Amino acid sequence: MNSSHGAEIIAMAGKGGTGKTTLTALLIKYLVESGMTPVLAVDADANANLNELLGLKVDVTLGEIRDRMKTETPQGMTKNEFMEFHINQAIIEATGFDLLVMGQPEGPGCYCMANSILAQVMEKLARNYRYLLVDNEAGMEHLSRLNLRKIHTLFVVSDPSARGVLTAARIADLTKSLQVDVKQKVLVVNRVPEDIPEALDNHVKDAVAKTDLNFGGYLPASQEIFQKEMAQESLLDLPQETPAVRNAFEIFRKFLG
């Protein structure tokens, strides 16, 4: 799937707990408020809960549809038709963007055919959108599963630690073994203290020098985001002048236009 067939693909990656789902929500806010729509967001991290940060309720996941396809496809309907119908039903519509949730990873048994059908349906669906945004788990297996071979921008999110930056560098290298063509990889270091420690800055410079990562920037630890998340309120309502939002928007503007 690539931009010549529709959506330009942006992916998020990072180890658990770095705040990549928060950054995904802020990216949706940026794209919508910049008029860069329509956007299809895919929550491909089993633990992400992107919908909660967007104030949306999930009724059904793609994983559940894939499981049901095995036993519930009615006579006279192909498995492709079953998947396509139910995936279209599972789209959560919002202003300027839609959301699809992958759900839990597959259990035992081969899902090769189901995943192949899912990739076909997603490719067809993506033609209706300007951007396809995928919030991934650290291993990024979903990029292969959805047959996303051509990505415009991969944002790799780290926390402000040596291990976080090292993991981000490893994730950036993973795309080569997955045979994914990425136009640009951008490192974002999240939840940093007001004064950036010199050691952290050195780790970041080292990671950028040794990989094909571009350094996007630092995002400050944000009380405003923390309060929204605690209250289970949408991050889309945050004012643009909130420091973390302003910094995130600057990064997005630099790499996405």
- Angle, vertex CA 115, rays to CA 109 and CA 119, nearest 5: 175
Largest CA distance in the chain: 65
Is the pLDDT at 96 greater than 60? The verdict is yes
C-alpha distances in Å from residue 26, one per residue of 20, 30, 146, 169:
10, 6, 23, 23
Sequence-separated contacts (24+) of 104-111 with Cβ below 8 Å: 104/46, 104/61, 104/63, 105/46, 105/63, 106/63, 106/66, 111/66
Locate the domains of the chain by residue range: 3-256
DSSP element (H, E) containing 227:
helix 223-230
What's at 117, amino acid-wise? I
pLDDT class for 138, splitting at 50, 70, 90?
A: low
244 within 8 A of 220, measured Cβ to Cβ: yes
Identify which of 131, 118, 42, 48 has the alpha carbon closest to the alpha carbon of residue 79: 118
159 within 8 A of 190, measured Cβ to Cβ: yes
Residue-wise pLDDT for 151-195, tens only, equals: 999 999 999 999 999 999 998 888 887 778 899 999 999 999 989
C-alpha distances in Å from residue 247, one per residue of 145, 222, 233, 243:
32, 11, 21, 6
pLDDT for position 26: 97
pLDDT for position 114: 67
Q: What CATH number labels 3-256? A: 3.40.50.300
Helix segments in 73-219, DSSP class H: 79-90, 112-126, 141-145, 162-177, 198-210
> Is the pLDDT higher at 44 or at 9?
9
Percent of the chain with pLDDT over 70: 89
C-alpha distances in Å from residue 86, one per residue of 63, 81, 108, 121, 178:
11, 9, 22, 10, 29
- Angle, vertex CA 159, rays to CA 168 and CA 105, nearest 5: 65
Residue-wise pLDDT for 101-130, tens only, equals: 988 666 655 556 667 777 888 888 889 999
**Residue 110 to residue 126: CA distance in whole angstroms:** 25
Residue-wise pLDDT for 188-210, tens only, equals: 999 999 899 999 999 999 999 99
pLDDT for position 124: 87
pLDDT for position 209: 94
